[in-house]
Structure formats: C-alpha cells, structure tokens
C-alpha cells in the first residue's frame, strides 16, 4: 500500500511532530512529501483546503497541524483552541473522505482522557469522566475529531488511525516560557535563571506525575502505522476505529523532572514551587500495549532526550 513514491501530505510539517515525521520519511527514502506553510494554506478555510486536495491528490494524510500550548495559553485562548482545532480537523478529514485518501493518521493527545482515571490509562477510558479544566477546550476539540474519525471509519469505511501520544518533547519544540509545554518551558526557565542568577519559579506543587515521549519515537510509531497491514491492525482493535495510545512507559513527577533539568543544566540556584497555580491532572501515564503489539517501543530515554536538548541550547 505505502511505497517510497507514495504522495504523503503532512499538514503542520514545521511543528514539533510534523517536522519529526517529515525528517524521518525523507531519511527513509520517501521523496513525494507534500506540505504547505501556514501563510500559504489556511487550514481553517474549508474551500482552500478542498482546492489543495483536488489539485495535489495526496494518497496518505498525517494530521499534525493543531493549535497547541501550555496551561497559560489554554486558559487565555479557550475559544480559539476549541474552534481553530475543530475547523482544521473537520476540513482535513472531510477532504480525506471526498478525495479517497488511502490512509489517514489523526494525532490526538492524552489530555482527551478524564482528569481522574485509573492508571495506566487505556484507550476505552475515553469519555468516562470529566476533563481537566486547564486544557478542556483543546481536549474537547480532539474528542470531536476522534468522533468524526469514528463516523468516517464506521459509516463510510474510511481507513483512519487515531494516535494518542503522551506528553511530547524534542529539539524543534516551542521554548517560549509563556506558551510552551512543561519540558521546553522548564528548560527555558533554567537557562534564563542561570544567565540572570535568579531562582526558578514553577507552577503548582511539583507532585503531578507525567509520562514523556521524545517526538522522534512518536515519528517512528507513525511510520509503523502508515505501513501496517489493515487486517493485522483490525485484529488488535477488534474491528473498531483504531485508537492507539503512544507512550514511553517512563513516568516522573514534575518536581523530579525539574531536579533532573537542574542537574543537567548545572543550575546552582533554588527551585520554588508556587502552589497558587493549578497542578492539572495528577497522574497521566498511558497503557500502550496495543502499539507495542506492532513491535514498536520507545528508544530514547528521558535522560538522554533532555541532555541532547539542553546541551544544544546552552
């Protein structure tokens, strides 16, 4: 089905996930990769997306494009997070239906799962409880995207796979302190504090436990699912819409993560935890047994991944 000359479209190719899978595909010899920069194609515009698909006729679609950010960004722009992500997903998925894409990969997030949940979190825990309030709008947009995938899969027999990665990080991350996720935000805080001889202030108690995955490991998982035989995948998911968690299996508290970054960066100042700010979900590690049945495992340890990023930024 997938071969080295297949036309693969990656909306969001410049982002954290998009660049990782784009680079991997190029390195693996896939030359026919389609992409458009944000200023060239507004993915929230249904007409423009439709015209692009009609003209370019992609065969495979990897939906990496999304409006993303940390707790502060989600809290500040809930309407934009909900509507922008819904529009992007809707336009791309409907185009995939109309133009008979051979396989679509839909990227979701572990934040779709309930705030209070048994751990490790399984795929069928979706919609069994209330969401974490700090990123509710983003999570809702992703849940609606999954449900649209489910309709297209069940009613229209479309080949769609939904991937739910845990907390991601990598060299191409957003390191802006105000809008970033936890790892790039912490790294930037430590670099700034070391430069200006300040203490590092961290939101919350430091108690929440998180599972982190290097984006290059996610890219390998995407390639596995692009290539996997449909019949083999159906056995693993019991003929339902394939929803697969993608996690490293390596969890750490925010406090210990901060101490690890402090050690790697050789920061000598103090870490202050501000309990006036929310913690978010307390424990969010995933059950990734389904993807592991397809012979995928994370290869990059958190220690090695952090060292590589921090050393490249100092």
Closest CA to 11 of 22, 25, 26: 22
Residues 212-271 pLDDT 10s: 999 999 999 999 999 999 999 999 999 999 999 999 999 999 999 999 999 999 999 999
What mean pLDDT do residues 166-173 have? 96
* pLDDT band with cut points at 50, 70 and 90 for residue 131: very high
Percent of the chain residues topping a pLDDT of 70: 100
Task: Give me the pLDDT at residue 90, please.
Answer: 98
CATH number for the segment(s) 8-173+212-249+284-298: 3.40.50.720
Task: Give me the pLDDT at residue 1, please.
Answer: 82
Q: Is 169 a residue of the active site? A: no
- 64 neighbors 22 (Cβ within 8 angstroms): no
Residues 2-25 pLDDT 10s: 999 999 999 999 999 999 999 999
Residues 71-106 pLDDT 10s: 888 889 999 999 999 999 999 999 999 999 999 999
Report the SS3 class of residue 232: helix
Q: Is 295 exposed, middle or buried (0-12, 13-18, 19+ CB in 10 A)?
A: exposed
**If residue 137 lies in a helix (H) or strand (E), which one and from where to where?**
helix 136-156
| Signed CA dihedral, 70, 186, 118, 63: sign only | positive
Q: pTM of the prediction? A: 0.95
- 38 neighbors 49 (Cβ within 8 angstroms): no
Q: Of the listed 9, 30, 125, 138, which one is catalytic?
A: 138
């Amino acid at each position: 089905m997938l071969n080295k000359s297949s036309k693969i479209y990656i909306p969001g190719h410049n982002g954290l996930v998009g660049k990782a899978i784009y680079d991997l595909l190029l390195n693996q010899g896939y030359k026919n990769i389609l992409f458009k920069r944000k200023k060239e194609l507004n993915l929230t515009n249904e007409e423009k997306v439709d015209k692009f698909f009609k003209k370019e006729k992609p065969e495979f679609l990897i939906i990496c494009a999304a409006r993303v950010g940390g707790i502060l960004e989600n809290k500040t722009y809930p309407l934009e997070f909900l509507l922008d992500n819904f529009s992007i997903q809707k336009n791309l998925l409907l185009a995939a239906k109309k133009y008979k894409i051979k396989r679509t990969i839909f990227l979701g997030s572990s934040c779709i799962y309930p705030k209070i949940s048994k751990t490790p979190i399984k795929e069928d825990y979706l919609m069994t409880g209330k969401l974490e309030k700090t990123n509710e709008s983003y999570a809702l947009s992703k849940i609606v995207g999954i449900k649209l995938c489910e309709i297209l899969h069940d009613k229209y027999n479309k080949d769609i796979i939904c991937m739910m990665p845990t907390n991601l990080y990598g060299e191409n991350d957003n390191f802006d302190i105000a809008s970033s996720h936890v790892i790039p935000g912490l790294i930037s805080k430590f670099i700034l504090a070391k430069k200006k001889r300040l203490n590092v202030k961290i939101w919350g108690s430091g108690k929440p436990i998180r599972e982190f995955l290097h984006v290059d490991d996610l890219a390998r998982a995407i390639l596995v699912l692009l290539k996997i035989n449909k019949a083999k995948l159906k056995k693993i998911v019991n003929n339902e819409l394939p929803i697969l968690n993608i996690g490293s299996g390596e969890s750490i508290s925010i406090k210990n993560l901060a101490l690890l970054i402090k050690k790697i960066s050789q920061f000598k100042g103090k870490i202050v935890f501000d309990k006036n700010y929310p913690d978010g979900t307390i424990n969010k590690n995933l059950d990734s047994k389904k993807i592991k049945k397809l012979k995928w495992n994370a290869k990059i340890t958190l220690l090695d991944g952090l060292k590589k990023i921090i050393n490249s930024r100092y």
